[in-house]
A = this chain, B = another copy of it.
């Protein structure tokens, strides 16, 4: 009655330098335990096979891989999942876990940071639970949490809400709704934006928010030149924007 012993699903974090000009040395941001565990995995689910291979090569320099990169089994999440996320139950990821049912450990990887946090992947994790596959998260950098800790905003009650609307009027409304939550419930509100819209979002925030609201922004965390700045909106209005349009940033508001 018993089948093969199932493999596990490992959630493997990636460094935060994806698409950046310079790379961070992995030992700066990755525990040796994470690299060692990742080096033993030979079956992968990822957003992009090319960057997964590049990351595996970096791991191999520190912790030799169980199989050469070209022999690793790598499958990509479908395009629709990249675009629209995969948390609404519309994508059934169980077929992606066939290797785990056959006994192979499988690694889930995103382009930067923790898979399934501010990134696709949750459909794969849900499928693992539904199939009785053990899920093991590994420690690594998570830009949201580094930004929250460094913001000085309330970290005992907070929300991450993803991207704000692109339409200017809708964005204004959304910012004010988030500010209202921050003020009335004391819940810090975090959000992100595509880098080339950073400056537009910054202007909208300074327009929409009340003077006493605290606005924090982090960019390039864990990288050279990374920074976090946190001030009242009133103070920000007298200063130049602390971010540019070329680096991913995390924004946070609170009181």
**Residues of A participating in the B interface, judged by any CB pair closer than 8 Å:** 11, 25, 27-33, 85, 87-89, 114-123, 125-129, 134-137, 139-142, 144-162, 186-187, 214, 216, 221-222, 227-231, 255
Give 19 new A-B contacts, CB below 8 A, not counting A29-B33, A161-B187. Answer: A27-B31, A27-B33, A29-B31, A85-B156, A87-B153, A87-B154, A87-B157, A116-B155, A117-B149, A118-B156, A125-B151, A127-B152, A128-B152, A135-B150, A137-B149, A137-B150, A139-B141, A139-B146, A159-B159
Q: What residues on B are CB-neighbors of A148 within 8 Å? A: 116-117
Residues of B within 8 A of A32 (CB): 27-28, 32
Please give the distance in Å from A140's CB to the nearest CB on chain B.
7
Is the CB–CB distance between B129 and A152 below 8 Å? yes
29 A-B pairs in the complex with CB atoms less than 8 angstroms apart: A25-B33, A28-B33, A29-B33, A29-B139, A31-B31, A32-B32, A85-B154, A85-B156, A89-B255, A114-B149, A114-B155, A115-B149, A116-B152, A117-B148, A119-B155, A125-B151, A125-B152, A125-B230, A126-B153, A128-B152, A129-B152, A129-B230, A134-B227, A137-B146, A139-B222, A142-B142, A142-B145, A158-B160, A159-B160
A126 and B149 contact, Cβ closer than 8 Å, known pairs A160-B157, A160-B158, A161-B157: no
Task: Verify B142–A159 contact, CB threshold 8 A.
Answer: no
- The closest CB in chain B to the CB of A129 belongs to B230
- Interchain nearest-CB distance for A13 vs B (Å): 9
Q: How far is it, in angstroms, between the C-alpha of A118 and the C-alpha of B162 when the chains are bound?
A: 20
Chain A contact residues: over half helix, strand or loop, or mixed?
Answer: mixed
In the complex, are the beta carbons of A129 and B229 less than 8 A apart? yes
Residues of B within 8 A of A162 (CB): 156-157
A147 contacts across to B, CB distance below 8 A: 137
- Inter-chain CA distance A88–B255, complex, in Å, is 8
Chain B neighbourhood of A122, CB < 8 A: 152-156
Q: Chain B residues near A227 (CB, 8 Å)?
A: 134
Distance of A186 Cα from B156 Cα, bound (Å): 21
- Kindly state the separation between the CA atoms of A158 and B118 in the bound complex, as whole angstroms: 9
CA distance A236 to B251 in the complex (A): 37
- Least CB distance from A56 to B in Å reads 18
CA A33 – CA B62 in complex, angstroms? Answer: 14
Complex contacts, A231 vs chain B, CB 8 Å: 129
| CB closest residue in chain B, given A191 | B157
Q: Enumerate chain B residues within 8 angstroms of A29, measured Cβ to Cβ.
A: 31, 33, 139
